[in-house]
């Protein structure tokens, strides 16, 4: 019987392909307290792990592993902590927030926990610190580009105003032929 990862939304199965990618599978602890902690971390309603239930290495942090021996083992007391939970899955209805802190917390986007990129096919294998850094850089770049666009539009308006003023002066001084005057008017109005 194949071993599938018990994490919600994870399709990893113990096979040659996942082994080649470096994904390891770890059984739920036999200790009832630790098993319960793992079960709670998975946030799966009505899920009861059995002796064959496993969680793949994609749901643990890099520092959770002991790779000193021939086999990859989890360090003592480690709990799976890297998941991509969507809002609509397994979330019960909560009461309306009343305190300012609660309201602010509700407004902030949920933090996605993820692992460093390992040799896996998971699309959510991200480092949250790097993601936050890149997001801030992107926001700064966006603001800079908006500022540059505003400045460019202001320059364009000033240049158009200057050109229009110069053309008006040339018209009043009768320095433009009628044909040239018509062509310039078409360009400025077009």
Q: What is the pLDDT of residues 148-164, one digit of tens each?
A: 999 999 999 998 888 88
Is residue 170 exposed (0-12), middle (13-18) or buried (19+ Cβ within 10 Å)?
A: middle
Are 1 and 86 in the same domain?
yes
Number of domains present in the structure of the chain: 2
Which pLDDT does position 85 carry in this prediction? 61
- pLDDT band of 120, cuts 50, 70, 90: very low
User: Residue 86 sits in which domain range?
Assistant: 1-90
Enter the pTM of the model: 0.44
Q: Which of 90, 115, 148 is the last residue of a domain?
A: 90
- pLDDT band of 100, cuts 50, 70, 90: low
Are 81 and 136 in the same domain?
no
- pLDDT band of 114, cuts 50, 70, 90: very low
């Amino acid at each position: 019987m194949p071993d599938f990862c018990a994490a919600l939304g994870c399709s990893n199965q113990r096979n040659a392909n996942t082994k080649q990618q470096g994904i390891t599978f770890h059984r739920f602890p036999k200790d009832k307290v630790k098993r319960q902690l793992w079960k709670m971390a998975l946030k799966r309603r009505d899920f009861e792990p059995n002796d064959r239930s496993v969680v793949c290495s994609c749901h643990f942090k890099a520092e959770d592993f002991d790779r000193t021996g021939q086999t990859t083992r989890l360090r003592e007391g480690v709990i799976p902590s890297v998941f991509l939970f969507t809002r609509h899955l397994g979330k019960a209805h909560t009461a309306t927030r009343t305190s300012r802190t609660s309201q602010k917390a509700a407004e902030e986007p949920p933090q996605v926990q993820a692992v460093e990129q390992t040799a896996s096919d998971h699309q959510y294998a991200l480092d949250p610190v790097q993601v936050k850094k890149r997001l801030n850089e992107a926001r700064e770049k966006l603001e800079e580009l908006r500022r540059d666009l505003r400045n460019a539009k202001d320059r364009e308006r000033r240049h158009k105003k200057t050109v229009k003023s110069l053309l008006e002066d040339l018209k009043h001084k009768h320095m433009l032929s009628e044909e040239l005057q018509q062509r310039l008017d078409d360009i400025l109005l077009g």
